[in-house]
Amino acid sequence: MRNVNVYPINKIPELYFLGRDVSDAEKKSFRTLFWNGSGFEVHFKGRELWALIEGGFETLEPWLVVFLNGRINSRQMITKGKQWICLARGFDDSYETDIRVMKDSQPMADDPEHFIKIHKLALTKGGSFSKLPEHKMKIEFVGDSITTGEGLAGAVDDMAWIGCHMSFCKTYAYQTAEKLDADFRVVSQGGFGIVSAWNNNPYYVIPPEYENVCSIPKGKLYEKLGGYQKYDFSKWKSDFVIINLGTNDRGGFYFEPWTDPDTGKVYKMNLDENGKPCASDGAKITEGTKKFLYVVRKNNPAAKIIWATGMMYIPEVMGFIYEGISQFKNETGDKNVFTLEFDSMDCETNEEDKGSRQHPGPKTHRLAAEKLSMVIKSLYSTEKV
C-alpha cells in the first residue's frame, strides 16, 4: 500500500454509513458493523482504495462483501485483529467508481465476541471522494434466518451452521432495496421467533431486542460497543417496515422441550391430540404478534408495515399471526398494516434453485423480491418511485 492518503472513517463527509449505529457514532474513531447489511458506501476517483478493518470472534467469524459499481467483486472472511484490505486496485482515476462494503453475516447470539469495525480508508494520492445521490425511500427489514440469508452461500448438501453459509446480499431484502433504490436497515437473527425460538427457547425472540441498537449478542463487548443503547429511530425514519417472522415459532411445536439452565424451567410449544398447535400456545403467538406491532408502530409512526410470510411454509401458525395483526388493526384503526404471502421454497425444482441447510434458495428469494417490490410500489407515492 503506497502513495496513498489515509482518512479516519469519521473524517470522510462524503461517506454514507449503512445500518443501525449508536447515537454518538460520529465521535468515535471507528464504526461498528452491528447487523448484516451494515457497512458504508462511497464514490471515489483514484486507482486504489483500501480499508483498515478489525475483526473478532471465538467460533463464528464475520463475513464481508464488497460491491464495485453495483456488482459483487469479493466476499471474504474477516480474521481476528486489524488488517488493511484492498477494496479496489488498478482503476482509471479519471472517472468515479461506486464502492459498497457490507457485513454479509448476521450478529451471532452464540458468539458474543463476533464483530467488525471499520477504522480508516486509504485512497491513492490525488484521488477524491464525492457525494452520493440520495435514495428514493427507506425500508427496514425485520426477520430471522430467511432475512439473514442463511443457505444462500452454501451448496445444497451443506448442513453446518456457520457464517460462510449466510449471505445477506443475496436475500429478498437486499434485492428489494436494490430494485427500489432504497436505503435499508436490517434486524434479523437466525433461529429467533416472535415468542419462541426454533428449539423452544423463549429468550431467543426478536421483539425484546428491536428497540436496542444491537443487543442480541450478550456480554461485555456489545455493551461496550453501545449495542445495548436504545436506537434513535428519529434519525432515520422508515417509509416501510417489512416483518418476516413466525417460521421459528412453528419449529418449537416439533422440537424437544428447552430447559432454562438458570432456573430449570421447561418451555415447549405443544401440539394437541389432533396434532395441531394447542390453543393456548397459538394464543401466545397471536398476542406476541399484536404486541410487537404496537412496538414497531410506536417507533415508526409514519411507516407502512408489511408482515410477510410463506418462503418457508408455516400453515400451523399463519392463522395465529394473522389474528394478531387483525386484533392490532381493530384496536388501533391502523390502516397502514398489510400482509403478504411469498411463494414457498417448494417452487425450487432444480439444484441451482436451492439453498443449503434446507433454507430458501436463490429462486425463492428472487420471486419474493419481485413480489415485495411490486407491492411497495403500489403503496408508495407515485411521484417518488
The amino acid at 234: S
Q: pLDDT tens-digit profile of 105-158?
A: 999 999 999 999 999 999 999 999 999 999 999 999 999 999 999 999 988 888
Output the pTM of the full model. 0.96
For residue 382, what pLDDT is reported? 43
For residue 381, what pLDDT is reported? 66
Cα dihedral value 37, 305, 357, 255, nearest 10: 130
Percent of the chain with pLDDT over 90: 87
Q: Which three cell numbers stand for residue 18?
A: 449503512
The amino acid at 24: D
Report the mean per-residue pLDDT for the chain: 95
Nearest 5 degrees, angle CA 120-CA 125-CA 126? 125
Q: Quick one: which of 16, 60, 56, 7 has its CA closest to 38?
A: 16
Residues 6+ apart with CB under 8 A from 311: 146, 172, 244, 342, 343, 344, 345, 360, 364, 365, 368
> Could you tell me whether strands 240-244 and 304-309 are parallel, antiparallel, or unpaired per DSSP bridges?
parallel
Q: pLDDT tens-digit profile of 66-114?
A: 999 999 999 999 999 999 999 999 998 888 999 999 999 999 999 999 9
Q: Which residues pair with 142 in a beta bridge?
A: 187, 243
For residue 302, what pLDDT is reported? 97
